Chains A and B, each alone.
Chain A
Amino acid sequence: MIYLFTALYSEASVFIKHFQLTKNHQISTFQEFYNEEAGIRLTVTGVGEIAAASAVSSVCSIYQTTASDLLVNVGTCAGTSDGGIFLCNKITEISTGKTFYPDLLFSHDFQETELLTGMRVLDITLRDQLFADHLEGICYDMEAAAIYQAGSYHFGPHQMIFLKLVSDRGNGKEVTREQIDQLMNMHAKELCGFLEQMRQFRFSESRTELWSVERESLYLRLGRDLHCSKVMSDSLRQHLHYCFLVGTDVDAVLLDMYEKGQLPCKDKREGKQRFEELKQRLFE
């Protein structure tokens, strides 16, 4: 699942339209839109660090995010560079001076930038003060560092992506909703295309097949037939796990032992002895 966070509805609308997201009326704290089939859940956090962190924390706790999920923050920002989409490789929170580094594992066609996150809207005085040392270009927003920090309780740095679109130069002029709509629509294809690509990425190889229902019941039955103690039972699981991984024919070994009457065992003492034999046979 991709958990998408934007500060404003006007930043979210292109995704709502493209991925045909439906509003979740059961959630009243933040506006939420989702499409289970598309694997996207979008939350409009509101402006500022506290709102953003609260939204991320709330969403991640409600939906119990996993190692296969992705957090994406998309939004507009002030910047020294001209338009386009920027992927953030470094995010600094102005109030604390802390810097965060999302992993940059995925190939992309965006420009990369350093991002500053501040508590207040950028004006000329603050801009001149902050941007003075960054000749190569820098962006300024009001959420990313908070999203990273709240997200890091649930996600690794490889699971968090921050995309920013420069809407203004931070000169204090108000950016209208129409301007944001226009900017988002201009880059809708690239943004949605990137998310489409991310949806197909598998973060972790699934091992669900290794312990199928049949194997679980085999393990339980064997534990009973060997009169396993807790320690023996853990050891049995460990041995079976390894054998399943390397493809040992466990069934053939067990069938032979059952046919010879070596299993089930009559008591703990015999079980201990048979377990040693079983281990030996599995590693022959």
Chain B
Amino acid sequence: MKNLNNDYLNKFCSHIYIERAITAHPRTQKILAHFPHATVVTIDHYKDVFCRSRQSYPLQHGSQNLILAEKKGTLLYEGAPVCQSFGNQYFYYTSCMMNCIYDCEYCYLKGMYPSANLVIFVNLEDYFHEVEQMLKQHPLYLCVSYDSDLLALEQTVGYVKEWCDFVQTHENLKLEIRTKCASTGMVGQLAQTKDVILALTMSPQKVITSFEHHTPSLDARIAFTLKLLEAGCAVRLCFDPMIYLPGWETYYGQMIDQIFMHIDVNKLIDVSVGTFRISQDYLKKMRKQSPDCAVAWFPFQNENGYYHYPESLMEQMESFLTNRLAEQLPKEKIFRWTDN
């Protein structure tokens, strides 16, 4: 049956909100050129639209609009405790884009942001400048694609290429670009250096179908991994977050079999393993916004303000996957979140 609701909603980026101050910015103009039919609404500050009260995240996600803005204030943040540092002492992340075109039911962005609209900060040079300032003090491991999926919007925005170019001219800087994107056509544009780690999130097809809406299939992600490795890129596979669902062992086992069959895992930089965990404030908002979302309504255990699966289940799931990975990978290449 045709989804009546979808017929009523505007198409992706039907409206673009632009901060008055950056209307003439070259990146604003470049991005706008991709949406010739969009209605442009001029605004004073991105928060005037992004931070309105009582917004509906799920509805907005069905008709996502774009906000182009200038980010002021702090641009680099220390890595959150729920994130893996992969042994890097100076672990930071940055958000030059907020929100994601994919619609993963378990995504913390649904609890973190009041709006589902995409925000792109066009003043990338300011980010670069702050990175340079920090590099004067110490090396830096920087995750640039946490609060969005930069690669999924690369054709429109081009930030991955800009970050890659920046890394190649700066020593002591290591970048992680987390993604679920699997666009093999983009491989040639990505940096073939060990300082840019392309971190692909891997999930069983059952999880992808059930919870990771509009994301590429497992087959596509494996094919993309192969292309990246062939091109000489540094690739990390992230089995994080692992999502519980009845029969999880079978689904995760089949995924590992499929990966082992196609990918020489020893060519990977490393892999990460971690079960779903989230701050209590984010989960509360997610449950309110999505009363029928099974992932969010799991009876989690609360520990110091963070929800996670019950200890025994968490141990069971992470050990299972870690042991399966250890069949073909040395232990030092397997990073388990609980090991932090």
Instruction: Name the A residues within 8 Å of B245 (CB-CB).
Output: 246
- Is B333 located at the chain interface by the 8 A CB criterion? no
Q: How far is the CA of A118 from the CA of B201 in the complex (A)?
A: 52
Contacts of A205 in B (CB 8 A): 291-292
Residues of chain B with a CB closer than 8 A to A204's CB: 291
A276 → B minimal CB distance (Å): 11
How many chain A residues touch the partner (CB < 8 A)? Answer: 36
Q: Is A273 an interface residue (CB 8 A)?
A: no
Least distance between B34 CB and chain A CB atoms (Å): 19
B41 to A152, Cβ gap below 8 A? Answer: no
Q: Is A46 an interface residue (CB 8 A)?
A: no
> Which of chain A's residues 184-209 have a Cβ closer than 8 Å to chain B?
197-198, 200-205, 207
- Among A76-84, A153-161, A168-176, the stretch that binds chain B is A153-161
Q: Which of B5, B62, B65, B246 contacts A246 (CB 8 A)?
A: B246
Tell me if B136 is interfacial: C-beta within 8 Å of chain A: no
**Set of chain A residues within 8 Å of B15, measured between Cβ atoms:** 89, 104
A106 CB within 8 Å of chain B: yes
In the complex, the answer to whether A157 meets B294 with C-beta atoms within 8 Å is no
Cβ contact within 8 Å between B41 and A90: yes
Bound-state CA distance A198–B43 (Å) is: 27
| Chain B binding surface SS class | loop
List, in ascending order, chain A residues with CB within 8 A of B326's CB.
none
Chain A residue contacts of B53, Cβ below 8 A: 152, 156
Query: How many Å lie between the Cα of A179 and that of B303 in the bound state?
Result: 66
The 24 listed contacts between A and B (C-beta, < 8 Å) are A90-B41, A90-B42, A99-B44, A101-B17, A101-B41, A104-B10, A105-B9, A106-B63, A112-B39, A155-B54, A156-B53, A157-B55, A158-B55, A198-B8, A201-B5, A205-B291, A207-B291, A210-B292, A235-B299, A238-B297, A246-B245, A246-B246, A248-B246, A283-B313
Contact flags B230-274 to A (C-beta < 8 A → 1, else 0): 000000000000001110000000000000000000000000000
**Closest chain B residue to A238 by CB distance?**
B299
Does A99 contact B291, Cβ atoms closer than 8 Å? no
Chain B: interface size category: 35 or more
Q: How far is the CA of A203 from the CA of B56 in the complex (A)?
A: 9
Residues in A with CB closer than 8 Å to B54 are 152, 155-157
Give the 9 A-B residue pairs with the shortest CB-CB distance, closest first: A156-B54, A245-B294, A238-B299, A105-B63, A207-B291, A158-B56, A239-B299, A246-B294, A242-B297
B52 touches A (CB below 8 Å)? yes
Known: A105-B60, A155-B54, A156-B53. 15 other contacts (CB 8 A): A89-B15, A89-B39, A89-B41, A101-B48, A101-B52, A104-B10, A104-B65, A105-B62, A107-B8, A156-B54, A156-B56, A197-B8, A242-B299, A245-B293, A283-B313
Q: Considering only CB atoms, which chain B residue lies closest to A89 in the complex? A: B41
Q: Are A207 and B292 in contact (CB under 8 A)?
A: yes
